[in-house]
Amino acid sequence: MGKPDTEKNVSDAAGAGGIDDLPQILPRSRSDLSVRRFVRILLYTLGVITVLWHLYYASSGRMPRSQHANIHLGLMLAAFYLASINFSPSGVRDRVGNAISAGLVVTVLATTAYVHVHYWRWLRQAREQYIYTNVDLLIGAIIILITIHATWKAYGKLLAFVTVGAIGYGYFGPMFPGILNHGGFDLETIIYSNSVALNGVYGFLLGVGATWVVIFILFAGIIESYGGMDYVIKIGRSVGRRISSGIPQVAVVSSMLMGSITGSSAANVATTGSFTIPLMQDNKVGDKYAASIESIASTGGQILPPVMGSAAFLMADLIGVSFVDIIQAAILPAILFYIGMAFVVHLSAHRYGWLMRDGDVMAVPEEERLSPVEMLISTAPYTIPLVVLIYTLVILRWDPMTAGLYAIIALVPAALVRDLILDQSSPSTVKIWGRRTIEGCKIGVVNMAPLTAVLASLGIVIQIISQTGFALSFSLQMVAIAGGVFILVLLLAMASSILFGLGMPTPAAYVVVAVLTAPGLVQLGIGEITAHMFVFYFALLSTITPPVALSCAVACGIAGASFFDVCKETIRLGLFSFLIPWVFVFNEQLIYWEGTTTAIIFLTSSVGILSVVIALVGYDLQAKLNYVSRALYMAFAFAIWFVPNMTVKIGLSLVLLVWVVAVFNETVPSLEKLMTSR
């Protein structure tokens, strides 16, 4: 299977250009060593050191998690500010920004070293005996300010304002009315409790990020450098070629796979949408529809285990259950989501004429036609680590960091073996593999750095609202306002989750609503995992909910469509996703598995999803439906979902399924035609 052009074929296997397309890390000569090259060398060196440190910690665990979290925070923030330096400054503002970033790199490393050296004194004296110095407070204040600044720089003013607002709330507590009122804290207490006491910035959020989350983000970065993104797109194309609605289905599959390992729906839209949206537009899909399909699909990727936009790890730690329990609870609702998503796209493609035809763009390119053996070898760097990950997580039930460690250990040599087999074994092949590995380390660290900043900032928010008692008061007040009525409490929890999630990345949105609203649902007797999944879904869906609708904003920018039109279509086509949390709250067997009962509930719920999608799209493959027909389909779905009698659920599902199949096959006339004939 060797081919003459080694460099070209290795690059093809990895899904990118040749060696010259990879960044030159070391200078070729002394004259080639510029400031830009020096900073790049620092960033790549920091990337490799960071990955090696986390792999070492995952394999040994020879220090407390909070001490490791401090090193993690320092490495990530240093990488964040190095990566933010602009080498094409357009004015004084950019030059000042570069100077600040460079200064902050030094400051971050210095404060990290200080905390590491004084860690045990902070733990034993400051935290337990309230003995600390003014220098400790100064270092703590600097860490808090840098964390807030990095959050603002990475995610914008909203999240930074949330953190500053929480600090203000802690300080001005006596001035607030009602349930917001509390005794207040002075600045020294706020700084102490959020840094020197190893809480707040160093709380459980940063601890989870520094262990369970980071290993998967680093894993994803290395996969990306080995051509994983192209592999995801190829899977989407492969699925798309086999069904008539194939072109928009590429967006569904690609966004599903990429979204499960990213921490932001908007980032997923920006990544996969840059390919899928133009592809859909080139094949007759309207601008607003292309943007809305990508927005919904990317949002759904955050629901898909095992990573769930990093929220799965936070949920397991917050509730105190195993990570496998969270995966099990999340998988069936995620499948329901993608059944609905695929069916929405399929019906829409038939209604609006986006169907595949012979000779369309989705024909298999010559360079993608591989023999079965070549396909098996070329995909080995992705399939082998995935098998290792599933085996260690599900079968051996290891913790996520250890499982991620072994997945990376399987990934790196698998990529080298692939390149050596598919191409000539030569120093050039190994050189390309080495540079891709270093590039992957840098990608993983740069991707993780902003998330580290936001987790540290949210640690401050959680610490303050817990200290003030606001979290408990909010949950009690929510139940009181609804008068303890189950449906009303759920509605308030839904509204609160959407509101608190507006404009936030997945982990941030989940943590806020989990602390504020989930306890109120648990008080009503809902299972703890179910309650957390309920608020997590709605916090996540805020990314496609106006007026912010961040995913829609990114998608409409790529598609060149109106923001209002994209939001309107996204809500119409994606409304089924807002119903899924209600389905598993009233059918908790989808979360807590009960053998045959769970299987039956899942199947009947799937039929309900199909019915709702027909109502939302307004088409049943025979005719467009009026509002009466849509209402009937919607009513059937609600009856299947919410009628408590199992016999009724099964009976209604069978009737509806037989009817829908008959309509699709044109064995019976459409409901619309039937009503019109009368």
Contact 295, 249 (CB under 8 A): no
Does residue 99 lie in a domain region? Answer: yes
Residue range of the domain that includes 78: 6-18+33-202
158 — pLDDT class (breaks 50, 70, 90): confident
Decide which of 202, 230, 252 is a domain's last residue. Answer: 202
Mean pLDDT over 660-666 rounds to 86
The pLDDT of residue 112 is 98
Q: What is the pLDDT of residues 401-440, one digit of tens each?
A: 999 999 999 999 999 999 888 877 778 889 889 999 999 9
Q: What percent of the chain has pLDDT over 90?
A: 52
Does residue 208 lie in a domain region? Answer: no
Decide which of 202, 227, 245 is a domain's last residue. Answer: 202
What are 77's two structure tokens? 């923030």
What contacts 545, CB < 8 A, 6 or more positions away? 498, 502, 571
Mean pLDDT over 537-558 rounds to 89
3 — pLDDT class (breaks 50, 70, 90): very low
DSSP state of 619: B
- Rounded to the nearest integer, the mean pLDDT of the chain is 86
What contacts 36, CB < 8 A, 6 or more positions away? 87
The pLDDT of residue 349 is 87
Q: Is the dihedral of CA 37, 39, 41, 43 positive or negative?
A: negative
636 — pLDDT class (breaks 50, 70, 90): very high
Q: Does 538 or 309 have the greater pLDDT score? A: 538
Decide which of 161, 182, 202 is a domain's last residue. Answer: 202
Contact 370, 378 (CB under 8 A): yes
Our measurement of the distance from residue 254's CA atom to the centroid of its chain's CA atoms, rounded to an integer in Å, reads 14
The helix/strand/coil state of 593 is coil
Does residue 625 lie in a domain region? Answer: yes
Q: What is the pLDDT of residues 441-470, one digit of tens each?
A: 999 999 999 999 999 999 999 999 999 988
Closest CA to 511 of 468, 547, 463: 463
Q: Is the dihedral of CA 158, 160, 163, 164 positive or negative?
A: negative
The pLDDT of residue 164 is 96
The helix/strand/coil state of 112 is helix
Mean pLDDT over 161-167 rounds to 94
The pLDDT of residue 31 is 59
Does residue 58 lie in a domain region? Answer: yes
Closest CA to 163 of 131, 200, 134: 200
Q: Does 591 or 7 have the greater pLDDT score? A: 591
User: Quick one: CA torsion of 596, 600, 606, 608, rounded to 10 degrees?
Assistant: -150
623 — pLDDT class (breaks 50, 70, 90): confident
Does residue 644 lie in a domain region? Answer: yes
366, pLDDT greater than 80: no
Mean pLDDT over 14-37 rounds to 57
Mean pLDDT over 230-252 rounds to 68
The pLDDT of residue 443 is 93
The pLDDT of residue 147 is 97
Mean pLDDT over 83-108 rounds to 90
The pLDDT of residue 634 is 95
Closest CA to 294 of 626, 552, 488, 62: 552
231, pLDDT greater than 80: no
32, pLDDT greater than 80: no
CA-CA distance, 138 to 253, in Å (whole number)?
Answer: 49
Does residue 322 lie in a domain region? Answer: no
The pLDDT of residue 238 is 65
Mean pLDDT over 510-518 rounds to 90
Contact 583, 641 (CB under 8 A): yes
Mean pLDDT over 247-251 rounds to 76
Does residue 445 lie in a domain region? Answer: no
Total count of residues recorded for the chain: 678
The helix/strand/coil state of 130 is coil
The pLDDT of residue 653 is 94
Place of tokens 């804290």: 185
pTM for this predicted structure: 0.85
The pLDDT of residue 433 is 92
Rg (CA), the chain: 26
144, pLDDT greater than 60: yes
What contacts 151, CB < 8 A, 6 or more positions away? 159, 160, 163, 453, 454, 456, 457
**Buried/exposed code over 412-447 (b: 16+ C-beta within 10 A; e: otherwise):** bebbbebbbbbbbeeebbeebbebbbbbbbbbbbbb
The pLDDT of residue 11 is 37
Least confident range from 173-182, 369-378, 381-390: namely: 369-378
Does residue 598 lie in a domain region? Answer: yes
Residue 556 CB-density burial (10 A; 0-12 exposed, 13-18 middle, 19+ buried): buried
Place of tokens 């007040």: 477
Opening angle at CA 75, ends 73 and 76, nearest 5: 65
Number of domains in the chain: 2
CA-CA distance, 117 to 135, in Å (whole number)?
Answer: 13
Q: Does 362 or 57 have the greater pLDDT score? A: 57
Q: Is the dihedral of CA 409, 415, 417, 420 positive or negative?
A: negative
Contact 297, 541 (CB under 8 A): no
Backbone φ and ψ of 484, nearest 5°: 75, 5
